[in-house]
Chains A and B, each alone.
Chain A
Amino acid sequence: MYRYDEFDHAVVAARVDEFSSQVARRLSGELTEEQFRPLRLMNGVYLQLHAYMLRVAIPYGQLSSRQLRMLAHIARTYDKGYGHFTTRQNIQYNWPQLCDIPAALADLASVEMHAIQTSGNCIRNTTSDPFAGVAADEVTDPRPWAEIIRQWSTIHPEFTYLPRKFKIAISAGEEDRAAVAFHDIGIRIVRNDAGEIGFKVLVGGGMGRTPRVGRVITEFLNPTELLGYLESILRVYNLHGRRDNKYKARIKILVDALGIDEFRRQVEVEWAHLRGSEVEVPASEIERIHSYFVPRELPARPEAPAEFLAARQQNAAFARWVDANIINHRVPGYAGVTITLKPAGGIPGDVTADEMDAIADLADRFGFSELRATKDQNLVLPSVAQEDLLPLWQELVSLSLAEGNHGLINDMITCPGLDYCALANARSIPLAQEISTRFADLERQANIGPLTLNISGCINACGHHHVANIGILGVDKHGDEAYQLVIGGDARDSAAVAQISGPGYSQEKIVDAVETTVNTYLAQRTGAEETFIETFRRIGLAPFKEALNAAR
């Protein structure tokens, strides 16, 4: 795991001091709210419906147990005893007092964490595959590259006042687990025919009001060229992005307007100036950053041990959890484990301070003190011996976090919605609770199979409804909540934006509509092995529309 050097420490400490003084000046009236607002946003502080909200970055999702305990401490000391993991590998606290935030940030800095650039029109937290460094299917570990991007983008003077926020994701698995196609810049690490590692770069993806699948700007970049190329993209965007209209200010709109070919041409012109300049990362620095991520020497543990296999045979709930929440590890005898924060009837992504502490203990006991936060609002223990899966699961049962629902209908992404968010049109969380209660039966979930169901409380799409197999969008109907149902989205390499299923639904009807959609799939699929999205691609939207209209 990356450890801060003196430079990182100094930057974060200086920022804590600076923001503390800004808060003091705001409280004394020296700064007006208008002056203070952009400053607080740059430090992750929003003013929401009922209180301030503090968003803390978890760079590329990587957390140590010590850091998770600090997140628990923040929840307990400065908030109401819980936090909310978000789709951008951040954690949000919903109730901090402004006057306490400097102290909270100082506490975070003591474990090498901060809230810098978690809001505002700058380059946000770079996200990555939660199984980076351990997945059996990856080309190389993307984390060193995520770290290089983090260092380059942190307080980058040229990109602190972009036309709009800017999100970068990077992944290296055969399967994309970071939804890179839906980021302003998405990076897939690939191998060329000569076996060399490089970057395929997508640009102009995004969700929000204008959902777009990222377009390929280059098929292959050499490792040393990465930052020069990213800087060139940012420069073209910084210069030509629409600052006059908030809704047209994201890079996707610029790429739409210019066309990908012209956009690429302009980037290449810019790049010609930067190639070979000091922006390029020297090989020695690449090596230095990589040295923080050298794969851990894992002690040899038996592969498919007998007790594990027996428990899987005898205990249906454990077997279901293993089927859904475990992925192959690059080292035989180990597994990657997802702890879904989605108990039936619970609030997706919410974790109490006590639960955070308990999970940190489990990471110490079973997982080399390592954790990851995922874009699906879950936590991951990246390296657990197969022998330890049963005792780990038993501990999770006692925490009520052992449901084997990863990737199934109840593993919903849900934004805070109108219960907290000042921008919301409608509530998301109560809907998620109603759906997960209705589909609580794990056998039913497993029978439905892989399915993503995401909920956003407004068109900003923080809940990723556009890329869900079944998405729900909260809309405002004359001051009342209403919901639109969209179908057929996909966040993976086979990226697609979901399509509107028809007229909207009231709060009372929307969950029935979800069930109708699921039942239509079950009736139409060729067999249990055909997933929801495969069936949708085969039969199209029409049969779903028909069933939904008939059920109205």
Chain B
Amino acid sequence: MSKTFVTANRLTDGLVVFRTADGAWSTAYADAALYDDSAAEVAAASSEATVVVGVYAVEVEQAEDGSWQPLTTRERIRVLGPSIAYQRSA
């Protein structure tokens, strides 16, 4: 069975954000609300033009450990951030 979450980039800093159950946005994937049908949520979120950019829904499936994971590599990387150690000297 698959579900979806709703995501966008935050206008001020571009960071990936996830729609939460109370209709707010969070940078933590753990806070993402899961929907059986997210069409209404995408439409509502898309009107928040001074908060987020590029609202869309991502399909997820439940992994063996019970977590919900996106189906594509692209969306998994978007959730997790770059897969590389990108701050060599930090």
Q: Which A residues have a C-beta under 8 Å from some C-beta of B? A: 26-29, 32-33, 47-52, 80-82, 94, 96-99, 346-347, 350, 352-355, 418-420, 424, 426-427, 429-430, 433, 479-481
Residues of A contacting B26 in the complex (Cβ-Cβ under 8 angstroms): none
A82 touches B87 (CB 8 A): yes
* A27-B11, A347-B84, A350-B88 given; A49·B78 CB < 8 A: yes
Q: Contacts A80-B90, A479-B74 hold; do A430 and B84 have CB atoms under 8 A apart?
A: yes
* Interfacial chain A residues near B11, Cβ < 8 Å: 26-27, 98
A375 to B71, CA, bound (A): 36
Given the complex, which residues of A lie within 8 Å of B67, measured CB to CB? none
B66 at the interface (CB under 8 A from A): no
Answer yes or no: B62 CB below 8 A from chain A CBs. no
B72–A81 touching, CB < 8 Å: no
B: interface residue count bin: 20 to 34
Chain B residues close to A by CB (< 8 Å): 9, 11-16, 49-50, 53-54, 71-74, 77-78, 81-84, 86-90
**CB-based contact A80/B13 at 8 Å:** no
| A contact residues around B12 at 8 Å (CB) | 27, 97-99
Q: State in angstroms the CA–CA spacing of A31 and B84 once bound together.
A: 35
CA distance A274 to B48 in the complex (A): 50
Measured between beta carbons, the chain B residues less than 8 angstroms from A48 are 14
Known: A96-B14, A352-B89, A353-B89. 15 other contacts (CB 8 A): A32-B49, A33-B49, A49-B77, A50-B82, A82-B86, A82-B88, A97-B12, A98-B12, A347-B88, A419-B77, A419-B83, A419-B86, A427-B73, A427-B77, A479-B73
Q: How far is the CB of B86 from chain A (nearest CB, A)?
A: 7
Question: Closest 6 CB pairs between A and B?
Answer: A479-B72, A52-B14, A97-B13, A352-B89, A51-B14, A419-B82
Which residues of chain A are within 8 angstroms of B77 by Cβ–Cβ distance? Answer: 49, 418-419, 427
Provide the bound-state CA to CA distance between A286 and B72, in Å.
Answer: 54
- Residue pairs across A and B with Cβ atoms less than 8 A apart, 24 shown, are A33-B49, A47-B9, A47-B14, A49-B74, A49-B78, A50-B16, A50-B81, A51-B13, A80-B86, A81-B90, A94-B86, A97-B12, A97-B14, A98-B11, A354-B89, A355-B89, A418-B74, A418-B77, A424-B74, A427-B77, A429-B82, A430-B84, A479-B71, A480-B73
User: Quick check: A28 and B50 within 8 Å, CB to CB?
Assistant: yes
Which residue on chain A has the smallest CB distance to residue B70?
Answer: A479
* B53 near A47: Cβ-Cβ < 8 Å: yes
Among residues of A, the one whose C-beta sits closest to the C-beta of B85 is A347
Least distance between A48 CB and chain B CB atoms (Å): 8
Question: Residues of A contacting B78 with CB < 8 Å?
Answer: 49-50
- Residues of the B chain whose Cβ atoms lie less than 8 Å from the Cβ of A47: 9, 14, 53-54
Which residues of A lie under 8 Å from residue B13 when comparing CB positions? 51-52, 97-99
CA distance A80 to B89 in the complex (A): 10
- Complex Cα gap A324–B69 (Å): 46
Assess whether B73 is in contact with A429, with CB atoms less than 8 Å apart. Answer: no
Q: In the complex, A418→B83 CA distance in Å?
A: 9
Taking CB atoms, residues of chain A closer than 8 Å to B84 are 347, 419, 429-430, 433
CB proximity of B42 to chain A, nearest CB, Å: 15
Question: A430 touching B83 by the CB < 8 A rule?
Answer: yes
Measured between beta carbons, the chain B residues less than 8 angstroms from A28 are: 50
Chain B residues whose C-beta falls within 8 Å of the C-beta of A32 in the assembled complex? 49
- Contact residues in B for A347 (Cβ distance below 8 Å): 84, 86, 88
Which residues of chain B have C-beta atoms less than 8 A from A420's C-beta? 82
B89 touches A29 (CB 8 A): no
Residue of B nearest to A416 (CB): B82
Residues in A with CB closer than 8 Å to B50 are 27-29
Q: Closest residue to A51 on the B side, CB-wise?
A: B14
